[in-house]
Structure 1
Amino acid sequence: MELPIIQIGNSKGFRLSKTLIEKYNIKDKVELILEKGYIVLKPISQPRKGWEKAFKEMNEKGDDQLLFNDVFEDENLEEWN
């Protein structure tokens, strides 16, 4: 695919089509990798972004309790020794 280089302020750059952005799930940022004479653009994925804040809020509200016991009454833990 051939892309024209365009002027962007004092810099130069190129535009990616909406189709490419959607196909490769590009959101706000990409990682630029220089590799053996090639430039690779890699989408930055943060699937757990915001989880730490959400878990902290859940804890403060007391909404982070187990829904069921993590050890069952009939569980034989000795087999793991």
Structure 2
Amino acid sequence: MKASLIKIGNSQGIRIPKPIIAQCGFEGEVEFLVQNNQLIVRAIKSSRHNWDSAFKKMAKNGDDQLLDSENISATEWDESEWEWK
């Protein structure tokens, strides 16, 4: 597929057909990368995308316990070397 550059104010742009936008999952903003003289346009994913399902899976597997809970006793290092600043 080819596209022509169009003038947008002092810049230039490319019109992206709606089916391509849907196929790529573009919503609101996109990210540009330039690699080897190629422009890569990709969807911006939320940094917390799918966290909810991951946390539910952790809880189901019992992997959501705190490592420093009251059940765990302090080590010798904790007692002799640790210092709050």
- Which range, TM-score by smaller chain? 0.5 to 0.7
Q: Which residue of 2 aligns with 1:19?
A: 19
Q: TM-score w.r.t. structure 2 length?
A: 0.53
Q: Which residue of 2 aligns with 1:4?
A: 4
Q: Which residue of 1 aligns with 2:34?
A: 34
1:39 and 1:24 mapped to 2: Cα distance?
15
Secondary structure at the residue paired with 1:34?
A: strand
Tell me by how many angstroms 1:24 deviates.
0.8
2:28 and 2:38 mapped to 1: Cα distance?
22
Q: Count residues in correspondence.
A: 54
1:40 and 1:10 mapped to 2: Cα distance?
22
Q: Which amino acid aligns with 1:2?
A: K
Gaps of 5+ in 1: 50-69, 72-81
Q: Which residue of 2 aligns with 1:63?
A: none
TM superposition outliers: structure 1 runs of 4+ over 6 Å = none
Gaps of 5+ in 2: 50-63, 66-85
Q: Which amino acid aligns with 1:20?
A: I
Change (3 A) 1:47 1:22: farther
- CA RMSD between the two structures: 2.7
Tell me by how many angstroms 1:10 deviates.
1.4
